[in-house]
């Protein structure tokens, strides 16, 4: 009876252990497989979104570049000549643009000059892929020339203003969709990328044999837009997604992203082997495992759970006690390695964000400086013409002065941005006086032309503050309001009001612009965010917010809708009192009269 009971107990324990282990193996396998497919699908969508974001940024840069070229007086003069002269003189503008594609067309949209891949069009034959719509349409287009793919944006060239002037022709610039572009998309999800143009591969990260296979089976690739689907190249299993990029009338451009399921699921195979080994182990030692677990696993697992909770709370320095069974020790060691990798990944992420900020800064600065330098160069060249009248010379000199002032303001903004966080230089000043002085400076800015300013009666407020920085913050908010108001369909207007409570001083600036786009409201106060603006580095709101924070307050978007956008700049009186106490302790501080 005892033997039968022990046998029954052993068989029951072994059967239950085996059943639970097998069920666990099946559940884990299913869950992990679904998770792998979900992560691969997310990576594919992220890589496509990454390309679309890069594409949108490049379109914006191309549009600005084309607008700058179209505004050059030298190019306008060239467009008034005949076709051979335009082709001969267009190479300098091609090199000035720095683009992979450059073309000029006459007022009817007929191609006159073309450069791509460092080669120029000889003018003897017309390339059918560069159609009239490439120049006359306001949208960007894809152009396919000799299996080289370009995304192109065009701008009309006017003699005089666009509303009343004469259209002289069109200028188009573009960038090549090449190996560099596909590598940028590939790195976003560690995936393979293919660009098809009219059914032919124009750029890919695949090697030649797999590229040939993908061409032969391209119909299967195109049937699953923006969805995860299985695809095999040879014996390797991929998950793929596709998206069509081109507009009607353009070459059919399709982006295909492939990620190897076999590579992503290799650890699942190893996990299966490990679980099978654990099942065998459980069958052999299930009788003694319960006591062993109660003594050597429960307590270390509890410590590991506490460590996991600490890690979830962001504590990377939680101490681990490497105790208990060997497996638990290995798990603790693996968890500790994972914690170190997570900490390293977090540091790398912060570093990459700093690099991205530097990249946005370089892009913004280079664009604005090139804009100002182009204006200075062109107007300085016209100043050298002996036929120019004194009035024309004065106007040209004024344009040069505006360009120099713009570059000076850009450099001052960058210097002030670099000094945020340093010690303040408090002085005792009248805040309404600073507001009026900032308003006077803004009125002189070109972006404030035709803007109507309304100013509520200002209460007399005299406080200790860093007057230069506060004046700069107010100036930036006023200029931001002017730039937004100029985009309104109604007459541009900016309204100011100042309020004071027991704890706060708040300045409200309201404009009647179209409102802040939803896409940038989260990143509105980050540096170099300037969506929807024709110029500027994107530092204005960032500087204003940093300066306000140094005075215990901040800048806040109170309300934003078409026709009414309200920003507030707040100063904390408790911080201002601390500045006053600090200033009075230094005898070198002199109160201005």
Q: What is the dihedral of CA 428, 433, 436, 439, to 10 degrees?
A: -10
pLDDT at position 283: 66
Q: Among 414, 442, 470, which residue terminates a domain?
A: 414
Residues 401 and 529 in one domain: no
Residues 76 and 139 in one domain: yes
Burial of 207 (0-12, 13-18, 19+ CB in 10 A): exposed
Residue 235 lies in a domain: yes
Measured distance CA(504)–CA(222) in Å, rounded: 60
Residue 460 lies in a domain: yes
Residue 399 lies in a domain: yes
Report the helix count and the strand count for the chain, using DSSP H and E: 16, 18
Return the HEC string of 219-285. Answer: HHHHCCECCCEEEEECCEEEEEEEEECCCCCCCCEEEEEEEEHHHHCHHHHHHHHHHHHHHHHHHHH
pLDDT at position 1: 36
Residues 438 and 558 in one domain: yes
The enclosing domain of 439 has a CATH number of: 3.30.565.10
Residue 589 lies in a domain: no
Residues 103 and 132 in one domain: yes
Radius of gyration, CA atoms only, the chain = 33
Contact in structure between 297 and 309 (CB atoms under 8 Å): no
Residues 408 and 485 in one domain: no
- Longest Cα–Cα distance of the chain, Å, equals 123
pLDDT at position 555: 92
- The model's pTM is 0.41
Per-residue pLDDT for the chain (593 aa), expressed as one digit of tens each? 333 434 554 556 566 766 776 777 777 777 777 777 777 777 777 777 888 888 888 888 888 888 898 889 988 898 888 888 888 888 888 888 888 899 999 888 888 888 887 788 776 655 546 777 888 887 888 888 888 888 899 999 998 888 888 999 999 999 888 888 888 778 766 788 888 888 888 888 888 888 887 777 777 676 655 556 777 787 888 888 888 888 777 888 888 888 887 777 776 677 667 777 776 776 666 666 555 555 565 656 667 667 777 766 666 666 666 666 666 667 777 777 777 777 777 666 656 665 555 555 555 555 455 555 666 666 676 666 766 677 777 776 776 676 666 666 656 655 555 555 556 778 899 999 999 988 988 887 878 888 999 999 999 999 999 888 888 889 889 988 998 999 988 999 999 999 999 999 999 999 999 988 887 877 777 765 555 454 445 567 888 888 888 889 999 999 999 999 999 999 999 999 888 888 877 655 444 44
Residue 6 lies in a domain: yes
Q: Among 239, 266, 293, which residue terminates a domain?
A: 266
Residues 208 and 277 in one domain: no
pLDDT at position 172: 92
Residues 212 and 289 in one domain: no
Residue 55 lies in a domain: no
Residues 165 and 191 in one domain: no
Residues 438 and 533 in one domain: yes
pLDDT at position 227: 59
Residues 118 and 244 in one domain: no
The enclosing domain of 154 has a CATH number of: 3.30.450.20
Residues 431 and 577 in one domain: yes
Residue 53 lies in a domain: no
CA distances from 432 to 457, 465, 496, 535 (A): 9, 13, 11, 29
pLDDT at position 373: 67
Number of compact structural domains in the chain: 5
Measured distance CA(427)–CA(457) in Å, rounded: 24
Residue 16 lies in a domain: yes
Contact in structure between 157 and 75 (CB atoms under 8 Å): yes
Q: Among 123, 150, 175, which residue terminates a domain?
A: 175
pLDDT at position 4: 43
Instruction: Write b or e for each residue in 490-529: b if 16 or more Cβ atoms lie within 10 A of its Cβ, otherwise e.
Output: eebbbbbbbeeeeeebbbbbbbbbbbbeeeeeeebbebbb
Q: Which domain, by its residues, includes 136?
A: 71-175
Instruction: Write b or e for each residue in 290-323: b if 16 or more Cβ atoms lie within 10 A of its Cβ, otherwise e.
Output: eeeeeebbeebbebbeebeebbeeeeeeeebeee
Residues 328 and 435 in one domain: no
The enclosing domain of 367 has a CATH number of: 1.10.287
Tokens, residue 528: 């170099």
DSSP state, 518? G
């Amino acid at each position: 009876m005892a033997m039968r009971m022990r046998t029954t107990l052993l068989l029951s324990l072994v059967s239950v252990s085996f059943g639970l282990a097998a069920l666990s193996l099946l559940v884990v396998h299913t869950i992990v497989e679904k998770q792998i497919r979900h992560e691969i699908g997310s990576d594919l969508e992220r890589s496509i979104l990454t390309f679309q974001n890069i594409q949108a940024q490049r379109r914006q840069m191309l549009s600005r570049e084309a607008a700058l070229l179209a505004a050059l007086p030298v190019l306008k003069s060239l467009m008034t000549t005949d076709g051979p002269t335009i082709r001969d003189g267009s190479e300098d503008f091609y090199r000035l643009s720095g683009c992979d594609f450059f073309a000029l067309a006459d007022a009817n949209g007929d191609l006159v000059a073309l450069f791509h891949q460092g080669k120029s069009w000889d003018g003897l034959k017309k390339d059918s892929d560069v159609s009239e719509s490439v120049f006359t349409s306001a949208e960007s287009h894809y152009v396919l020339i000799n299996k080289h793919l370009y995304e192109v944006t065009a701008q009309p060239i006017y003699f005089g203003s666009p509303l009343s002037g004469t259209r002289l022709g069109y200028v188009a610039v573009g960038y090549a969709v090449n190996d560099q572009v596909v590598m940028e998309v590939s790195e976003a999800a560690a995936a393979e990328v293919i660009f098809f143009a009219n059914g032919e591969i124009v750029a890919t990260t695949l090697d030649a044999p797999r590229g040939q296979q993908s061409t032969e089976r391209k119909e299967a690739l195109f049937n699953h837009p923006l969805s995860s689907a299985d695809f095999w190249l040879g014996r390797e299993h991929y998950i793929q997604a596709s998206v069509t990029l081109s507009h009607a009338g353009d070459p059919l451009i399709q982006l295909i992203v492939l990620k190897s399921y076999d590579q992503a699921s290799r650890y699942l195979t190893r996990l299966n082997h490990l679980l099978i080994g654990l099942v065998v182990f459980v069958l052999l030692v299930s009788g003694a495992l319960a006591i062993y677990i109660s003594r050597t696993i429960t307590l270390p697992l509890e410590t590991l759970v506490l460590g996991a909770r600490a890690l979830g709370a962001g504590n990377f320095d939680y101490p681990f006690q490497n105790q208990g069974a060997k497996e638990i020790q290995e798990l603790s060691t693996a968890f500790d390695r994972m914690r170190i990798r997570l900490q390293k990944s977090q540091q790398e992420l912060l570093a990459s964000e700093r690099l991205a900020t530097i990249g946005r800064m370089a892009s913004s600065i280079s664009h604005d400086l090139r804009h100002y330098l182009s204006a200075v160069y062109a107007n300085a060249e016209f100043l050298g013409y002996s036929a120019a009248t004194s009035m024309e010379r004065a106007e040209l000199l004024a344009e040069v002065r505006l360009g120099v002032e713009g570059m000076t303001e850009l450099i001052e903004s960058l210097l002030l941005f670099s000094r945020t966080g340093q010690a303040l230089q408090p002085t005792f000043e009248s805040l309404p006086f600073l507001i009026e002085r900032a308003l006077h400076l803004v009125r002189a800015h070109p972006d404030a032309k035709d803007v109507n300013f309304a100013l509520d009666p200002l209460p007399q407020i005299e406080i200790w503050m860093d007057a230069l920085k506060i004046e700069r913050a107010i100036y930036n908010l006023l200029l931001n309001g002017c730039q937004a108001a100029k985009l309104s369909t109604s007459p541009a207007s900016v309204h100011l009001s100042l309020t004071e409570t027991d704890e706060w001083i708040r300045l409200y600036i309201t404009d009647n612009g179209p409102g802040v786009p939803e896409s940038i409201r989260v990143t509105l106060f980050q540096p170099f965010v300037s969506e929807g603006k024709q110029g500027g580095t994107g530092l204005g709101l960032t500087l204003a917010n940093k300066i306000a924070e140094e005075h215990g307050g901040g800048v806040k978007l109170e309300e934003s809708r078409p026709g009414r956008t309200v920003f507030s700049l707040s100063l904390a009186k408790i911080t201002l009192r601390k500045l006053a106490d600090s200033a009075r302790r230094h005898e070198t501080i002199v109160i201005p009269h």
